[in-house]
Copies of this chain bind each other. A is one copy, B any other.
Amino acid sequence: MDTVGTSLDASLLEGLRELLGDRLSVNETERVNHGMDESSFPPAAPDAVAFLGSTAEASELVRLCAEHDTPVIPFGAGTSLEGHVLATRGGVAVVMTGMDRILEVNVEDLDATVQAGVTRKQLNDGLRDHGLFFPVDPGADASIGGMASTRASGTTAVRYGTMRDNVLALTVVLADGRIIRTGTRARKSSAGYDLTRLFVGSEGTLGLITEVTVRLQGVPPAISSAICRFPTIDQAVDTVISTIQFGIPIARVELLDEPALEAVNAFSGLDCALEPTLFLEFHGSDAGVVEQAQEVQELARNSGGTDFEWATRTEERNRLWQARHDAYWAALASRPGCRSITTDVCVPISRLGECIGETKADIAEGTLNAPLVGHVGDGNFHLTILVEPGNEEELREASELNGRLIRRALSMGGTCTGEHGVGYGKMGYLVEEHGEAIDTMRTIKVALDPNGIMNPGKVIDVGEAARDPAATGSSR
């Protein structure tokens, strides 16, 4: 792959330079750095890297790229896990991190509008004085625009929902450079097609998200966290199923298996016993939190769980959840120099125990370490399958393990990706999951991006013409 010379059309390069000045880079290091994410796919560098400052600039950039049939690849925090940002057909990486302003916070309406490059932690820092928070929390400190693009979620989705539920409206630059607003600040609306939900999860393939209006939550009067150990994963999962079925509004309920705990202990200096463990959090009034916790403790005990070990002080709680969020990095650190193939199935919760059980047995038959963490209240769990870069045998074993896991989840009425998105890595599985509906997605893609310049080669294959780089007008 060419990562040295840039091959953008000279007049496009000139136009972009005029628009952005020194915020347009063709420096090799910049290009390589913006042609990779956290996945194990080899980097694919763009021809140029554009550091955007405004929606108006985004519009002009897309218009210029459209004139030159050149791919536009949005780049947020670079933390995606399926090769979403790889410039597999060259083009311009559009870096959103400079669009980092919180534009408005409407305290009374519990909403905020931010530029796409604002990260979730930055937003929460900006909300703290208002007594509000934005609940969606993927492990990484991702950008809000990137989270909208991948329909991300995290540990709190069981209570507060995913980006699907927490985005009210978007500002989007379309494939021809036009700017649209997809909704209002009204809490609900039946006014026409749900463009907001169409662009959420479209991974930059239908348009470029530049601003996001999100729902906020009031910080609950009481928060308490606990951990609870179980003799087997099945018993932990049974507790979660009962908790959901009883309608207990648990805020977080995360499963870690023994290999995950071992990695977390080493990385974050915890001393968790190596038994299947739930990390729990309760939000509510003082009395409400006590009541919820008592109910879940009783369900856990009935399933063989230990007494809750509490983390009630803010620092203890933060340490616990930071460790949980760092589980991915902890797994990577457990094998120096490795990369991860990270799985992401989500199944109906009644099948979760079975799905995890069969998957653990499958791992045990292979050679790889694959710590398991799960947003089990949603039926969603991840393996961090640790592989040595360049070790073809390990990559193949990991990829086959993931494939069997995905087919297992699909056969149980689940999905190949609960929150990471399709990117480059799951395009084949998307077809398996959706069958004939994939054609409807393709029709929408072709209608909204007829020249195929918006993050091409991701999510959906638009046919032979687009698969052949020469035919897309791409510069490589």
Binding site for B on A (CB under 8 A): 106-111, 150-153, 157, 161-162, 164-165, 174, 178-195, 197-198, 200-202, 206, 217-218, 220, 241, 244-247, 249, 285, 287-288, 291, 295, 344, 346-350, 378-380, 409-410, 413-422, 426, 429-430, 433-441, 443-448, 459-460
Contacts and interface: CB of A to CB of B under 8 A. Distances in A.
Contacts of A161: 165
B288 A187 contact: no
A58 to B, nearest CB: 15
Contacts of A422: 190-192
27 contacts: A111-B348, A162-B188, A164-B197, A179-B436, A180-B435, A180-B437, A184-B433, A186-B346, A186-B414, A187-B348, A189-B417, A189-B418, A190-B201, A190-B420, A191-B422, A191-B433, A192-B433, A193-B202, A193-B459, A194-B197, A198-B444, A218-B247, A285-B295, A288-B288, A288-B291, A444-B447, A447-B447
B201 A198 contact: no
B108 A415 contact: no
B447 A164 contact: no
B195 A437 contact: yes
Contacts of A409: 186
A346 to B, nearest CB: 4
Nearest to A174: B440
Contacts of A413: 184-186
Question: How many copies of the shown chain assemble into the complex?
Answer: 2
Q: Which 7 A-B pairs have the closest CB atoms?
A: A197-B197, A447-B447, A108-B350, A189-B415, A180-B437, A218-B247, A186-B415
Nearest to A207: B440
A134 B364 CA distance: 42
Contact of A152 (B190, B206, B220, B350): B190
Nearest to A168: B348
A198 B202 contact: no
Contacts of A430: 191-192
Given A150-B190, A291-B285, A109 B350 contact: yes
Given A106-B348, A108-B348, A153-B188, 10 more contacts: A108-B241, A152-B190, A162-B188, A180-B436, A184-B413, A186-B409, A187-B348, A192-B430, A193-B444, A193-B445
A174 B443 CA distance: 12
Contact of A106 (B193, B350, B441, B459): B350
Contact of A349 (B109, B151, B202, B287): B109
Given A192-B201, A433-B191, A186 B244 contact: no
Contacts of A444: 193, 198, 444, 447-448
Given A165-B165, A192-B441, A197-B164, A187 B218 contact: no
Contacts of A416: 191
A437 B198 CA distance: 12
Q: Which of A187, A415, A446, A459 has the most CB of B within 10 A?
A: A187
Contacts of A288: 288, 291
Given A194-B164, A348-B109, A447-B447, A440 B180 contact: yes
A443 B434 contact: no
A446 B218 CA distance: 42
A421 B189 CA distance: 8
Nearest to A242: B108
Contacts of A109: 348-350
A187 B433 contact: no
Contacts of A185: 348, 413-414
B415 A191 contact: yes
B448 A418 contact: no
Given A109-B349, A349-B109, A447-B446, A188 B418 contact: yes
